[in-house]
Amino acid sequence: MNALAATNRNFKLASRLLGLDSKLEKSLLIPFREIKVECTIPMDDGTLASFVGFRVQHDNSRGPMKGGIRYHPEVEPDEVNALAQLMTWKTAVAKIPYGGAKGGIGCDPSKLSISELERLTRVFTQKIHDLIGIHTDVPAPDMGTGPQTMAWILDEYSKFHGYSPAVVTGKPIDLGGSLGRDAATGRGVMFGTEALLNEHGKSISGQRFVIQGFGNVGSWAAKLISEKGGKIVAVSDITGAIKNKDGIDIPSLLNYTKEHRGVKGFDGSDPIDPNSILVEDCDILIPAALGGVINKENANEIKAKFIIEAANHPTDPDADEILSKKGVVILPDIYANSGGVTVSYFEWVQNIQGFMWEEEKVNDELKTYMTRGFKDLKDMCKTHACDLRMGAFTLGVNRVARATVLRGWGA
């Protein structure tokens, strides 16, 4: 089942639990707007190249639409649609005043020069500048993009609309980016893990963790969890996978990965097959890479008691069912990785106010939002006698449905 089919399935299950009107259900599922643009740029060698850009704006009933822009060869409409819809429910679960959107360009950023990436970003912005905006749709970085990409979008957008730092988030600090944004998703994962373990009478200290994916989210989660006394026994990234049953020295690994661009070959650990990382013996598994990695083929072999979904859609519905029967507790992605969009909201607020916060305030506010979010999620689980994933979906869908009806749906 692809990401869009799985997201639609979860939405429909939540809708039935909530008893939503069938016409309202259909309205909530259909995107507000889908944009597809052609972006032709001159390459460094003088030739012309064309790329296809997408922006799916899913829902704006609770506020401006919000979501990342990714540069990846496999960016395609169904995936962008699923991720836009997930952002609608994620922002509602986090209780921040946004809707959902997602975008991207089908390209391989590793094969483009910096100047080619800049030209591509500027052409894409020229094509969509009338459809994004501070109170309309606020993009952010995603896979294959980062603060520099956001800086180019800000500059190009400002040529048409005047200086507008709040039009994108995840910007460089010097252009109005927020302190604490870089660590936000990983820090949110740590706060979410803490809240879940507290519910089960446990703490992070002494728990054994396996982290699949050691990019921005996985590395920050590893750093913050190890500082809380958690033991990271195995990690993996695109270069390979390593294991140390006594715990990997995370500060040393972070220094090593900066120099060697990957975890492969790190001293003080043993190399393992990257395909076995998800089934390593641990208490808590954190998939922090791509979607669909936990499926019916490997779900039975997973030994973790808890799974924290730091990636988007890492567990497919078949695996969900298998793991549920095994008693594995899954903290769903639309709550677990919402730290990033929450601090993006803080950045947007700071830009609109023209008043920047200290990093301590950003981190304290994030903890407040993540802690409250978990309590709200658990309340929905009790109300509807459901698991955490369906608790999160019913929470998000209910908030969006209520806003839609209050604004005069069907009038």
Residues marked active site are found at 102
216 is in an annotated binding site: yes
- Residues forming a β-bridge with 232: 209
d(CA 360, CA 340): 16
Annotated binding residue at 66? yes
What is the rounded distance in angstroms from the CA atom of residue 196 to the CA atom of residue 375? 10
Q: Which residues pair with 385 in a beta bridge?
A: none
Which letter does DSSP use for residue 108 in this model?
A: -
Cα–Cα dist 68/104, whole Å: 8
Give the neighbor-by-neighbor strand order of the sheet with 270-272. Answer: 270-272, 240-243, 231-237, 208-212, 284-287, 306-308, 329-331
Q: Nearest-CA neighbor of 316 among 91, 20, 24, 9? A: 9
CB 156 within 8 A of CB 125: yes
Instruction: Look up residue 362 and give its two tokens.
Output: 């950003």
Find out whether 140 and 174 touch, Cβ atoms under 8 Å: no
Tokens of 223: 């750093």
344 annotated ligand binder: yes
Q: Is 219 annotated as a binding residue?
A: no
Structure tokens at 142: 């995603």
Q: How far is CA 78 from CA 55, 101, 124, 229, 385, in A?
A: 12, 13, 20, 40, 31
Tokens standing for residue 112: 């483009």
What SS3 class is residue 60? coil
Show binding-site residues for substrate.
Answer: 66, 90, 344
Show binding-site residues.
Answer: 66, 90, 185, 216, 344
Show binding-site residues for NAD(+).
Answer: 185, 216
